[in-house]
């Protein structure tokens, strides 16, 4: 009896991610949602520039590799070309909240019927650990070697809070993948975001607080502890907007 297997939407290839990186978990949650909703054959994923740049090799659905920050614009084009396709972007914090801020905000403002998976690990991973728009105050990175100094470089961008003020956005939730309970909740949120798109409800963004042991300079288990003790207090988990929640305004 099979009790545990790889989701069908994930390709049977070796991932390039560092040991202990939580991208693997998030990939799996996205793939499980695609499997459970039975949409692999009509799903198009948009891969970003960043650590998950090779996501196009990891998902079995059709994929487009976008320029840095532009995934929501590319997704807009794909979705407008074939509205029956289910279109998701998979983006990191630099991609989504720095170079691609305009694309993020405006795809939300248009209530573009797409699903955005936003992996927030408070650092630029692929280029070797530079300060991200979501790097915490005081956090040491390669380009904030004395700790993020809010007096000179300002404060982190809280994406869910920011977008909750965008009238067009439909569903915004922040989740984390630091323990089993949170991983389960993250999976449910991701699935709901895809389901909303299938139902034509519009723009969803799921922010996933994730760890980067390599660039944080921590062991995988210590990194998850750091996430819980530092990131979750700064970026509280929960639903920031759901127009279709019970008592919600809907359309």
Partner 1 sequence: MADKVLMKGNEALAEAAIMAGCRHYFGYPITPQTEVAAYLAKRMPKVGGTFLQAESEIAAINMVIGVASAGKRVMTSSSSPGISLKSEGLSYLAGCDLPALVVNVQRGGPGLGGIQPSQSDYFHATRGAGHGDFHMLVLAPASVQEMASLVFKGFDLADKYRMTAMILADGTMGQMMEPVSLDMGEVKQYDKSWAVTGTKGARPHNIVNSLSLLPEELEQWNLKRYEKYAEIEKNEVMYDSFMAEDADVIVVSFGVGARVARNAIVEARAKGIKAGLIRPITLWPFPKQALKAAAAHAKAFVSVELSMGQMIEDIELSIRCFRPVLLCRRVGGMIPTPEEVLAKIEEADKTGGNEA
Contact set with partner 1 (CB under 8 A): 40-44, 53, 56-57, 59-67, 70, 73-82, 85, 102-103, 105-106
Residue position matching structure tokens 């998850």? 224
| Separation of alpha carbons 229 and 85, rounded Å | 39
Q: Which of 80, 75, 88 is nearest to 34 (CA)?
A: 88
* Shortest Cβ 114–partner 1 spacing (Å): 10
| Separation of alpha carbons 31 and 46, rounded Å | 14
| Separation of alpha carbons 210 and 233, rounded Å | 14
Question: Closer CB to partner 1, residue 88 or residue 216?
Answer: 88
* Shortest Cβ 176–partner 1 spacing (Å): 29
| Separation of alpha carbons 178 and 225, rounded Å | 8
Question: Closer CB to partner 1, residue 79 or residue 174?
Answer: 79
* Shortest Cβ 107–partner 1 spacing (Å): 9
Question: Closer CB to partner 1, residue 103 or residue 242?
Answer: 103
Alpha-helical segments (H) within the chain: 23-37, 55-58, 71-81, 93-94, 101-109, 150-153, 159-163, 180-198, 213-216, 220-226, 232-234
Question: Closer CB to partner 1, residue 105 or residue 212?
Answer: 105
Evaluate the CA torsion angle 102, 105, 107, 110 in order and state its sign.
negative
* Shortest Cβ 67–partner 1 spacing (Å): 5
* Shortest Cβ 138–partner 1 spacing (Å): 33
Question: Closer CB to partner 1, residue 65 or residue 161?
Answer: 65
């Amino acid at each position: 009896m099979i009790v545990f297997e790889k989701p069908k939407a994930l390709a049977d290839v070796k991932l390039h991610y560092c040991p202990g990186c939580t991208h693997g978990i998030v990939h799996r949650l996205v793939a499980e949602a695609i499997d459970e909703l039975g949409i692999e054959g009509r799903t198009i994923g948009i891969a970003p520039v960043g650590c998950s740049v090779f996501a196009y090799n990891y998902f079995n659905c059709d994929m487009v590799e976008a320029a840095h920050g532009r995934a929501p614009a590319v997704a807009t084009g794909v979705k407008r070309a074939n509205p029956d396709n289910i279109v998701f972007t998979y983006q990191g914090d630099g991609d989504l909240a720095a170079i691609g801020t305009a694309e993020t905000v405006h795809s939300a403002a248009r209530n573009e019927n797409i699903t955005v998976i936003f992996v927030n690990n408070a650092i630029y991973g692929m280029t070797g650990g530079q300060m991200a728009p979501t790097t915490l105050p005081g956090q040491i990175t390669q380009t904030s070697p004395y700790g993020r100094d809010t007096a000179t470089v300002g404060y982190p961008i809280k994406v869910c809070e920011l977008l909750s003020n965008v009238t067009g956005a439909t569903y915004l939730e922040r989740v984390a993948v630091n323990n089993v309970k949170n991983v389960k909740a993250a999976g449910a949120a991701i699935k709901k975001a895809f389901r909303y798109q299938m139902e034509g409800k519009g723009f969803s963004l799921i922010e996933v607080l994730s760890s980067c042991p390599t660039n944080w300079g921590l062991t995988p288990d210590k990194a998850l502890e750091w996430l819980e003790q530092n990131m979750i207090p700064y970026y509280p988990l929960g639903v920031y907007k759901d127009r279709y929640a019970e008592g919600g305004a809907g359309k």
